[in-house]
Amino acid sequence: MSAVGTPASRAGKTRKLPRGLQGLLALLAVLGPGIISANAGNDAGGIITYASAGSQFGYRTLFLMVLVTVALVVVQEMCSRLGAYTGEGLGALIREQFPLRSGATAMALLFIANAGLTVSEFAGIGGAMEIFGVSRYVAVPVALIGIWGVTVMGSYSRVQRVFLVMGLVFLTYPIAAVLGHPHWGTVASNLLLPHFLHSKAFLFLAVALIGTTITPYMQFYLTSAVVDKGVTPKTYKGERIDTVNGAITGNVVSIFIIIATAAAIGGTGPLTSIGQAAGALKPVAGAAASQLFAVGLLGASLLAATVVPLSTAYAISETAGVERSLSRTLRQAPFFYGLFTVQLVVGAAIALAPGNLVSLVINAQVLNGFITPVILAYILILANRRSVLGRAANGPMFRAVATVCVGVVSILSAVVLVQTVAGWF
């Protein structure tokens, strides 16, 4: 899966297979950065937000998720296009195309926000393993060593394969949803028609949903991984399928999380911890649902605990201009792997530290809300520029849609940021 096969060779190999299977194989061949980054968006923080949406408002947030999916597709498509046509990641393009100071500020904020996220991913790993009765003091170090080994030892294609297998755990959510026996009719009507509530809590949750679905680290990872995979303008067509498909699949998983919790514990109010969500599912949907939830959380956290530090390492190495590729050895790219390792180790250490340090660091997620609009604006400007993308720059229609998406997401993030900061005083 290291390179995308040309359509002709692919068709030649699978001529005898039925048409449906052929399509499936073609899809499997292009699977890669898009689906990984979208799945990494369903991380520990994401799952708790979706579960909270389900338990607090039932099925009402589903239509919103459909809208968010559109925005995610638009943003992710721009990112993978930038990567394929320029051969440079987002960090590199920001250094080249924008003033040094603003770029450096964005990178510093990304570094801090991602450090906070890494902590929450390791906390998620610990939490999921504790549902199975394994101490976090065992689970987190083992996960740390595993993640480091797979990432540093393998080439890009091998790391990608591991990521794709990890992504399979997200199948547990549809199963958990079916086990909860939801009202499929209500689900369908909520997916197709808006059922918004006029309340402050609903607005807050809506923004939280957007913020956890469209995150800066996903965009940095996606662009860099497209470059690392070696996608060129010629092979971009397949990559675009992967990106769009990934964004949709990732959000379908999120929608199933909302359905699962809505069916089991809908209307019971907000959740505060992941264990609470899994525990609440137990009496309604049986022990299996709770276990499935934990498996999903574990896979999601493992995936995100790898992708988040990787995105930092990519972004900052690109800004500096030093070698950054998963296909390089430790000696060829010491800065890249060094940054990755430091984030990983510090994240795991803080997640294991006693006291209330974890909740403190998770507050760094607020920073995500602050940098998301900035990064989205950078992406939009870059994808609009003909000097960057040439003929592949955004057309007038796409530009209008993308501007609306970025504008709405930015305004909503700003609203919540102001509210959060005001809440501190």
87 near other proteins (CB under 8 A): yes
Task: Record the tokens describing residue 39, joined without a space.
Answer: 């799945």
Number of H helices, E strands in the chain: 20, 0
A 10 A CB-CB count for 99 gives 9
**Only segment of 3-11, 264-272, 306-314, 316-324 that touches other proteins (CB under 8 A):** 316-324
Task: Record the tokens describing residue 387, joined without a space.
Answer: 């000097």
15 near other proteins (CB under 8 A): no
356 near other proteins (CB under 8 A): no
323 near other proteins (CB under 8 A): yes
Q: Which of 14, 27, 70, 96 binds other proteins (CB under 8 A)?
A: 96
Q: Which of 31, 73, 92, 262 binds other proteins (CB under 8 A)?
A: 92
102 near other proteins (CB under 8 A): no
**What separation in angstroms does the CA of 5 have from each of 11, 297, 333?**
9, 33, 28
**Only segment of 91-99, 187-195, 270-278, 352-360 that touches other proteins (CB under 8 A):** 91-99
28 near other proteins (CB under 8 A): no
Question: In the chain, helix, strand, coil percent, each to 5?
Answer: 80, 0, 20
Q: Which helix (H) or strand (E) holds 275?
A: helix 274-320
Minimum Å distance from CB 318 to other proteins?
A: 9
Task: Record the tokens describing residue 16, joined without a space.
Answer: 């005898």
81 near other proteins (CB under 8 A): no
Site for other proteins in 209-248 (CB under 8 A): 227, 232-233
Pick the closer one to other proteins by CB: 63 or 335: 335
Write the single-letter amino acid at 81: R
Residue 298 in contact with residue 169, Cβ under 8 Å? yes
Classify residue 140 by burial, with Cβ atoms within 10 Å: 0-12, 13-18, 19+.
buried
What is the Cα–Cα distance from 143 to 295, expressed in whole angstroms?
14
Residue 91 in contact with residue 382, Cβ under 8 Å? no
Q: Which of 162, 389, 402, 405 binds other proteins (CB under 8 A)?
A: 389
86 near other proteins (CB under 8 A): yes
**Only segment of 52-60, 84-92, 159-167, 307-315 that touches other proteins (CB under 8 A):** 84-92
Pick the closer one to other proteins by CB: 356 or 387: 387
Minimum Å distance from CB 397 to other proteins?
A: 23
Show Cβ contacts of residue 106 under 8 Å, excluding neighbours closer than 6 positions: 94, 371, 374, 375, 378
What is the Cα–Cα distance from 172 to 368, expressed in whole angstroms?
28
Q: Which of 85, 156, 163, 220 binds other proteins (CB under 8 A)?
A: 85
Q: Which of 81, 136, 229, 324 binds other proteins (CB under 8 A)?
A: 324
109 near other proteins (CB under 8 A): no
Minimum Å distance from CB 98 to other proteins?
A: 10
Site of interaction with other proteins (CB under 8 A): 85-88, 92-93, 95-97, 100-101, 104, 227, 232-233, 319-324, 332, 387-389
